[in-house]
Amino acid sequence: EAGVAQSPRYKIIEKRQSVAFWCNPISGHATLYWYQQILGQGPKLLIQFQNNGVVDDSQLPKDRFSAERLKGVDSTLKIQPAKLEDSAVYLCASSLDLRYEQFFGPGTRLTVL
Amino acid sequence: GQQVMQIPQYQHVQEGEDFTTYCNSSTTLSNIQWYKQRPGGHPVFLIQLVKSGEVKKQKRLTFQFGEAKKNSSLHITATQTTDVGTYFCAGRDQGGSEKLVFGKGTKLTVNP
């Protein structure tokens, strides 16, 4: 079974630029998550989708971050404009349904200069 | 909001020694999950605990969920170098939120 795919793996941008990350979850998984992991900390949930509906986006900085999951399959997360403090690893995860174990992708390491 | 705290933040052991990490939530949990993240890797699911007082074992790993469903622990017997990594607990509030809140993790290093 293929795992969660993410691209790109690495991205370096300057502050105030825009960036987008892509995630393809495991086939058949209804729930998709985007996490931000800052070095030395645990993953912090940014947004959670159930199929193509948003379940929780309470910690998403909506003035600069946006995410969509069209057709309830793959998803994109965008940052516009980026700030220095956005430097982190962005992890996508999926699960069969709510409350099931989560399978994480390899992550995208973002550096904002 | 819900907070999940883990101690210790770091633990260095000699190979063969035991290791324990503790997780405490500010709120009562409906369930708790444990993940392991190897250096440079991504979190990998280990186990989920749901019932009050539940104890589960996976080979040398023993997981416990507290009676009040506000704390949990992971104990590794006779550590090996393959156990190196950061162990995270993640809890879901009993109040109905579907959000999983991760602790900061315990980073384990093992000296061969």
Question: Which residue from B minimizes the CA distance to A41?
Answer: B104
Distance from CA of B43 to the nearest CA of A (A): 6
A56–B97 C-beta distance less than 8 A? yes
Measure the CA angle with vertex B40, ends A20 and A75; round to 5°.
Answer: 25
Nearest by CB to B102, which of A42, A99, A101? A42
Nearest by CB to B33, which of A41, A91, A101? A101
pLDDT in tens, B96-111: 778 899 999 999 999 9
Confidence tier at B1 by pLDDT (50, 70, 90): confident
A43–B88 C-beta distance less than 8 A? yes
C-alpha to C-alpha distance for B64 and B54, rounded to whole angstroms = 6
What are the mean pLDDT values of chain A's consecutive 10-residue runs (113 residues total)? 92 98 96 96 96 93 96 94 98 93 97 98
B44 in contact with A at a CB cutoff of 8 Å?
yes
Q: Are B8 and B72 in contact (CB under 8 A)?
A: no
